[in-house]
Amino acid sequence: MFKKTKLFAGLLGLCLMASPALADAPINDKLPDPDGKPADMSKPVQVFIVMGQSNTLEFGKVGGDKDGTLEHAVKTEKLYPFLVDDAGNWTTRQDVRQVHVMGSGGFDAGKTKFQRNAWLTVNNKIGIDTGAGHHLGNAIDAPVMVLRSSIGNRSLGWDLLPPGTPRYSHNGVESAGYMETVQSKKDKTIVKWEKGGDMLQWYAGLQYDGDVARAKQVLENLGEYYPGATKYEIAGFIWFQGDKDRYNEVHAAHYGKNLQRLFDALRKEFDAPDAKIVVGTLGQTSKENAKGNEKLIMDGMFAFAADAQNKGKAAVVYTHPLSMGSSSNGHYGGNAKTYMNFGLGLGEAMVELLKND
C-alpha cells in the first residue's frame, strides 16, 4: 500500500512535545515534489473523511507577498517546496482527489453545496486538506481521496453528537442525548424528537446525520468525484473540532467520551471497522497553560487516544507548536502556514497509523 519513498518523520514527534515559541514552530518541508503521474486505478480509492467545524474549511490566505500568506511562505521563506514546480507554478497531484461538500443540518440534496471536486492543488484559499493530502498521496501507492463533509459553528456535544449517545450531565446540568432536543430557549426541558415530526426541529446529532449523508452521497457516485474509479475503501477519519464545545462545560467535560462514540459510530456508518482516526487539538491551547473547558477538551482528546481499545487506531496531534498565533474562533488569523502545518501534522499522523496495519 505504501510507496517506496522516504517519509519525513520529524513533525509528528515535535507535535507531541512541549510547545516551543511560535517562531520556532516545526515545519515539514521535506516531502518530495509530486511526480505528476496518476494513481494505479486497479486499486481501490483510499478515502479519508475530514469532519469537524469551520477550521476544517479553507481559511488560509494564498495571494500576496506578505507574512502569513502562502505565496510569502513559499516564495520568500522557501517553505513547502513541493507546492511549486520549477517554473514557480502551483503543483497538482494527479493521484489525490480533493472533494469538499457542505450543508447545514440534515441532508437535503437540493441544498448541498459542492465546494471542491478536483485534483489536489493550491486554490484561492487553503485548509488542512492541502498538507494532509500531500502526505497521504506521497505515502500511499493507490488513489487517494480527501473528502471533507463539514460546516462551521458546530459542537460535538450537540450538533455532531453521534447516534446512540445517551442523555448526559455535568455538575447538575443536563444535555440532550442523540435525537433529543429542548422545547425552547426559555424552557430547557429535554424532549425526545419523534421521526415523522417537525423536520425543522433541530435535534442533537442533526449535523452528524447530515454530514455523514453528504459524504455517502459522494461515495455512491464515486466516478463523478474520482474519474475512472469504481471501488473505494474508507481508510481513515480526520477530526479537527472543539471550538464550539469550549463554550459549554457539559460538552467540554464529556468530550473524550463523545469522541469515542463518534469514532465507533463512523466506523459502523461507513462499514469501515479497520479505519483509523486522527484528531487535532485547538491550536491556541498549550499543555502547560490549558485551563477550564479547553483543558477538559484537550484532556478528553488525549484520554481517547490513550485508551487501550484505540491503540494503533487513533492519534492526537498537538497543534499548538504548529500555530502561528491567533485562535480557533478567529480562524488563526487566516495564516496559511498554520493551516499547512496543521494539515501536514494530521496527514503524517495518519500515515503512521496506517503503517501499523
Model confidence pLDDT, tens digit, residues 155-186: 999 999 999 999 999 999 889 899 888 766 66
User: What are phi and psi for residue 71, nearest 5 degrees?
Assistant: -60, -40
Instruction: Kindly indicate whether the domain formed by 11-160+207-354 is annotated with CATH number 3.40.50.1110.
Output: yes
User: What are phi and psi for residue 143, nearest 5 degrees?
Assistant: -60, 140
Spell out a b/e string for 219-258, using b for 16 or more CB atoms within 10 Å of the CB, else e. beebeebbeebeebbbbbbbbbbbbbbbebbbbbbbbbeb
User: Residue 181: what pLDDT?
Assistant: 83
State the DSSP string of 175-195: E--TTEEES-SS---EEEPPT
**In whole angstroms, what is the distance from residue 152 CA to residue 302 CA?**
23
Mean pLDDT over each residue of the chain, to the nearest integer: 89
Condensed to tens digits (0 to 9), the pLDDT of residues 79-122 reads 999 999 999 999 999 999 999 999 999 998 878 888 899 999 99
Where are the chain's structural domains? 11-160+207-354
Nearest Cα residue to 239 out of 301, 177, 159 = 301
**In whole angstroms, what is the distance from residue 142 CA to residue 349 CA?**
18
Condensed to tens digits (0 to 9), the pLDDT of residues 22-80 reads 333 445 567 999 999 999 999 999 999 999 999 999 999 999 989 999 999 999 999 99
- Report pTM: 0.92
